[in-house]
C-alpha cells in the first residue's frame, strides 16, 4: 500500500495527493461500520487501482482535528479580522484565538482593510495583541501591505483561514497565493456581511511543504472547551495566576485575584477580560444544557 494526504472530499470520493499525483479514491466500506471518518488533511494508506484511482484502507493518527471546518492535521490558522465592514469585534477575535489554542493550532492575526483606517489605529491594534503574545500584522491585501509577512508565516505549514464573513479571507488567500484561484465573496451592502462562496473543503498546495485550506465561509473554528479551562488559553493570565490567592482561581468573583487587579490597573485590556468572562459563561451554559 501507499501513503498520501487527502486534499479534497466530495460526494463520497476523496482525492489523495501522493508523490505529485492526485488519485480519486473511495474509502473501505468497513469504515462506516467502525464509525471511522475520512477528513481533508488526513494522511491515509491506500491501495492504487489503475492509473488514477484507489481504495483507502487506513486513516493514520491525526495531530489536530477541527470540527468546523472539518479538516485534520492543520497546524496554523490565519485569523482575518477587518477594521471596518464589518467592524472589528474583539470578542469574535478572542473567541477564535481561544479555539485555536484549544485545538493546538498556532494563530496569526491578520487585521485586514488597514488602508481604510488611520495608520495610528492600525499600529495600536496590532501592538495590543503583540503585547498579549500573539503574532499580528496589519494587512491591505489589494495594496500588498503585510502580505509578504503573512506569506512567510505560511511556509512549511498547513494553514486554514478563519474570521467573520466579509473580513476578506478569500481576497487575502488570493494575495498570499497569486496564480491560485480562491473564491472571493462580496459584502452585502444591506447587512454588511459576506456571502458564502466556497462549497467544499479543499487543500491547495502552495509548494512541496506548504498548503492552504479553501473552506466554506465560516466565522469560527469549532472545538469543545471546558469552562474551567478557558482561563488557561489566555496567555496573559498565566503569569498573573501565580499571584492569585486561590490556586484554581477562575478570575471571576474570587477575592484577591491578580488578573482582576491587573484589569483595574490597566495591565490587561478591559475588552479582553470581558471576552474571557463571556467565553467562560458560554462554555458553562453549554455544560449545563448538556446535563439538563
Instruction: Judge whether 113 is annotated as a binding position.
Output: yes
β pairing state of 76-82 and 158-162: parallel
Cα–Cα distance, 74 to 64 (Å, whole number): 6
Q: Is 257 annotated as a binding residue?
A: yes
Residue 159 marked ligand-binding: no
State the alpha helices, DSSP H only, in 87-192. Answer: 90-103, 119-131, 147-154, 169-176
Is 216 annotated as contributing to ligand binding? Answer: no
Query: What stretches of the chain adopt beta strand conformation (E)?
Result: 2-10, 13-18, 21-27, 43-49, 53-59, 65-66, 71-72, 76-82, 106-112, 135-138, 158-162, 202-207, 210-214
144 annotated as ligand-binding = no
170 known member of a binding site: yes
User: Does 253 sit behind a cis peptide bond, omega within 30 degrees of 0 on the bond before it?
Assistant: no
Does residue 114 have a known ligand-binding role? yes
Q: Is the dihedral of CA 61, 63, 66, 72 positive or negative?
A: negative
184 a known binding residue?
A: no
- 29 marked as binding residue: no
- Longest CA span, the chain: 69
Q: CB under 8 Å to 277, separation ≥6 — which residues?
A: 252
Cell 452585502 -> residue: 188
Grid cell listed for 57: 484502507
Does the annotation place 249 within a ligand binding site? yes
**173 labelled binding-site residue:** no
**96 in Cβ contact with 221 (< 8 Å):** yes
Q: Which three cell numbers stand for residue 134?
A: 500573539
Query: Is 75 marked within a binding site?
Result: no
Does 244 show up as a binding residue in the annotation? yes
Cell, residue 53:
484511482
The reply, when asked if residue 169 is annotated as ligand binding, is yes
85 labelled binding-site residue: no
- How many other CB atoms sit within 10 Å of the CB of residue 161? 23
SS3 of 33-67: the string is HHCCCCCECCEEEEEEECCCEEEEEEECCCCCEEC
12 is in an annotated binding site: no
Binding-site residues for GTP, in ranges, read 112-115, 163-171
> Residues forming the annotated binding site for Zn(2+)?
244, 249, 251, 257
Binding residue numbers: 112-115, 163-171, 244, 249, 251, 257
Amino acid at each position: 500500500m501507499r501513503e498520501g494526504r487527502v486534499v479534497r472530499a466530495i460526494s463520497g470520493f476523496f482525492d489523495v495527493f501522493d508523490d505529485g499525483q492526485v488519485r480519486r479514491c473511495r474509502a473501505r466500506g468497513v469504515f462506516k461500520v467502525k464509525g471511522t471518518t475520512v477528513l481533508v488533511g488526513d494522511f491515509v494508506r491506500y491501495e492504487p487501482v489503475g492509473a488514477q484511482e484507489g481504495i483507502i484502507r487506513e486513516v493514520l493518527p491525526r495531530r489536530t482535528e477541527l470540527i468546523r471546518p472539518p479538516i485534520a492535521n492543520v497546524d496554523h490558522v490565519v485569523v482575518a479580522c477587518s477594521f471596518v465592514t464589518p467592524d472589528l469585534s474583539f470578542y469574535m477575535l478572542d473567541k477564535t484565538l481561544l479555539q485555536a489554542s484549544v485545538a493546538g493550532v498556532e494563530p496569526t492575526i491578520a487585521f485586514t482593510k488597514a488602508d481604510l483606517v488611520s495608520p495610528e489605529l492600525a499600529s495600536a491594534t496590532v501592538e495590543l495583541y503583540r503585547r498579549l503574545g500573539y503574532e499580528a500584522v496589519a494587512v491591505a491585501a489589494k495594496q500588498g501591505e503585510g502580505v509578504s509577512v503573512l506569506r512567510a508565516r505560511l511556509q512549511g505549514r498547513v494553514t486554514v483561514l478563519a474570521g467573520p464573513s466579509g473580513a476578506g479571507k478569500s481576497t487575502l488567500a488570493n494575495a498570499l497565493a497569486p496564480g491560485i484561484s480562491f473564491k472571493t465573496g462580496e459584502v452585502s451592502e444591506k447587512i454588511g456581511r459576506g456571502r458564502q462562496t466556497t462549497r467544499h473543503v479543499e487543500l491547495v498546495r502552495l509548494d512541496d511543504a506548504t498548503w492552504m485550506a479553501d473552506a466554506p465561509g465560516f466565522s469560527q473554528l469549532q472545538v469543545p472547551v471546558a469552562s474551567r479551562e478557558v482561563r488557561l488559553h489566555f496567555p496573559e493570565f498565566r503569569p498573573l495566576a501565580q499571584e492569585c490567592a486561590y490556586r484554581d482561581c477562575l478570575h471571576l468573583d474570587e477575592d484577591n485575584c491578580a488578573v482582576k487587579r491587573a484589569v483595574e490597573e490597566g495591565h490587561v485590556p478591559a475588552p479582553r477580560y470581558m471576552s474571557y468572562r463571556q467565553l467562560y459563561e458560554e462554555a458553562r451554559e453549554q455544560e449545563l444544557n448538556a446535563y439538563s
